[in-house]
Amino acid sequence: MKDLLHSPTRRQLLSMIGKTAGATAMYQAMTTLGFASESSFQKEIDLKGAPAGASIVILGAGLGGLTAAYELRKAGYKVTVLEYQNRGGGRSWTLNSGDKYTELGGEEVTCDFEKGNYFNGGPWRLPVHHYAVFHYCKKFNVALQPFIQTNDRAYLHRTNHFNGAPQRLGDVQSDIRGYVSELLSKAVNKGSLDDTVTKEDKEKLLEGLKGWGVLDTDYRYVKSHETGKHRGYSVYPGGGLMPDAKPSTPIPMDKLLSSGMWSDLYNNYTVHVHQPAMFQPVGGMGKIGDAFTRECRDMIQFKAKVTKIHQDETGVTVDYIDANNSKGSNSESGNFESGNLTGSIKSIRADWCICNIPLSVLTQIDINVSEPMKQAMAAVPYDTSYKVGLEFKRRFWEEDEWIYGGITYTDLPITQISYPSQDLFTSGSGVLLGAYGFGEASYKFNALTPKERINVALEYGKYIHPQYTKEFRAGTSVAWHRIPWSLGCYGIWSESSRQQYYESLCSIDHRIVLAGEHCSHIPAWQEGAILSGLDAAKRLHQKAKKLG
């Protein structure tokens, strides 16, 4: 791959085209690993006939737990939800003006944005095929609006290419399409495809390539008024005696290939999961968690830290610390950090238990489950991730650069910049997702203080948007391995670990069953958490009815 990026040949380019044509196979592989899957949701479950007096305790008010709580109460169960924080929704979380939380290490993270501005610390977009999320949003009156995933006016950026100048995504895409068309047309004209297509098909293919790639009469991709209509102009068409339009100049093919920007285009057009249309809740992703919480509020006890889960032949006992009304308890909105938690020790007894606690936390709690379940719980590590939200005095990306929504990709440690899809064309301040990534860069961000994360995002971001320095107003961040109630972003499955442990993790262990995105084939997505909650509720109900 390294040689391909630095000294590509045309044969290698055609090989890359072949790989692009095999994107469906790549999607299937991703599905096997548990990513990008389409939801299996078809319709709302209708559970009925809970055994008389049957009770269920649900641990964790994330979307998986609250989905199960909502459906099981309808079936007639007495349901109690214990939640570590003082809010529901789990990672369906939006930081609004005035919110604050304390991360591991004792640093306080604040959100000092102007009123009305917000930052999605967790999920930030909804694929159109996540049917269960949309079902409950409609049922609970959560207003949705389009999320702009791809915008040709956004940038692709490589530090050591094009003198560090960001390139418009649409320009790169148009040029790649043009050069691919040119090379393929040459292959057709030289007879390289004679064994594949008929003479009539060759003529149709050449005509199609000429239009698709915007080629001239000699099947070359070169600057022309026609290419200007596709990749834009250096001087745009005007009126009256304004200067004549001038088409922009394509990026030379060798420079385009050596930049490695192909991969960034794939990020925008992941075969299934990021295709238009995508959506977001009006007012932030936390509106979904808020809606579930509103529907289940009378079942939830907040500020309850689970310390022990013990099951026997007749039920489950959960010990927890109740921090409500205790000295030093935080009654403000936002997150509840329990590093110095004080409160009374309490227990709750129920017939059954659905545990929605992230495995990264659950493996540190005293719980008596079978050995296969314990092994499965320990076999799922959690990925780390970081996000930095940056508020600016004005929406300069719109006013100066005509960028309305979409994502810019860069090889800088900030990885990407996402532009807001809401409040377009408004005056005043706006919030960018100024950094978002996983892996090595995430470990580095996690090691920084909250203030340092903001400073680093500003320092790198100014190479793409020089306006950063002048226009910055406030910032906030989330480093998921430093969040006390999750200790990571989402459960990581490999093909082998899923084959070995997944069934054990999701099976009902006597009177306990787990739920959450980690118990799904769509990890890291809210859809996976909701589907897991539905499945856990249905199977537990079936077992409870069978036992009477």
Query: What are the backbone dihedrals phi and psi of residue 408, each rounded to the nearest 5 degrees, phi first?
Result: -100, 135
Average per-residue pLDDT for the chain: 89
Q: Lowest-pLDDT range, 109-123, 269-283, 365-379?
A: 269-283
CATH topology of domain 2-24+167-268: de novo design (two linked rop proteins) (1.20.1440)
pLDDT digits (tens, 9 = 90+) for 136-170: 999 999 999 999 999 999 999 999 999 999 999 99
Q: Which fold has domain 101-153+277-285+383-482?
A: Polyamine Oxidase; Chain A, domain 2 (3.90.660)
Measured CA to CA in angstroms, residue 440 lies from 215, 232, 264 at distances of: 42, 36, 18
**Distant-in-sequence contacts of 80-83, Cβ < 8 A, 24+ apart:** 80/55, 80/56, 80/299, 80/301, 80/348, 80/350, 81/57, 81/296, 81/299, 81/300, 81/301, 82/57, 82/58, 82/301, 82/304, 82/306, 82/318, 82/320, 82/348, 83/300, 83/301, 83/302, 83/303, 83/304
* pLDDT, tens digit (0-9, with 9 covering 90-100), for 171-199: 999 999 999 999 999 999 888 878 788 88
Q: Which of 439-448, 469-478, 501-510 has the lowest mean pLDDT?
A: 439-448
Task: State the pLDDT at residue 274.
Answer: 75
The answer to whether 176 touches 262, Cβ cutoff 8 Å, is yes
Q: Lowest-confidence range among 238-252, 338-352, 461-475?
A: 338-352
- Answer yes or no: are the C-beta atoms of 481 and 399 closer than 8 Å: no
Domain with CATH 3.90.660.10 in the chain: 101-153+277-285+383-482
Cα–chain-centroid distance for residue 423?
A: 21
Please give the structure tokens belonging to residue 519: 């118990």
Res 340: pLDDT: 57
Dist. CA 412–CA 290, nearest whole Å: 35
Q: Is the pLDDT score of 52 beyond 50?
A: yes
pLDDT digits (tens, 9 = 90+) for 337-373: 445 567 899 999 999 999 999 999 999 999 999 999 9
Give the tokens for residue 376: 């499965």
Reported confidence tier of residue 384, pLDDT bands at 50, 70, 90 = very high
Contact 382, 358 (CB under 8 A): yes
Token pair of 381 as six digits: 């590590």
55-86+287-380+494-547 topology per CATH: FAD/NAD(P)-binding domain (3.50.50)
Residue 525: pLDDT above 70? Answer: yes
Residue 22 has pLDDT above 50, yes or no: no
Q: pTM here?
A: 0.88
Which percentage of the chain shows pLDDT scores above 70? Answer: 89
Q: Both tokens of residue 346? A: 């309490």
Average pLDDT value for residue range 233-249: 93
- pLDDT tens column, 286-327: 999 999 999 999 999 999 999 999 999 999 999 999 998 765
Give the distance, in angstroms, between the CA of residue 309 and the centroid of all CA atoms in the same chain.
Answer: 31
Strand partners, 353: 57, 512
Residue range(s) occupied by CATH 3.50.50.60 in the chain: 55-86+287-380+494-547
What pLDDT shows up at residue 273? 72
User: Range(s) for CATH 1.20.1440.240 in the chain?
Assistant: 2-24+167-268
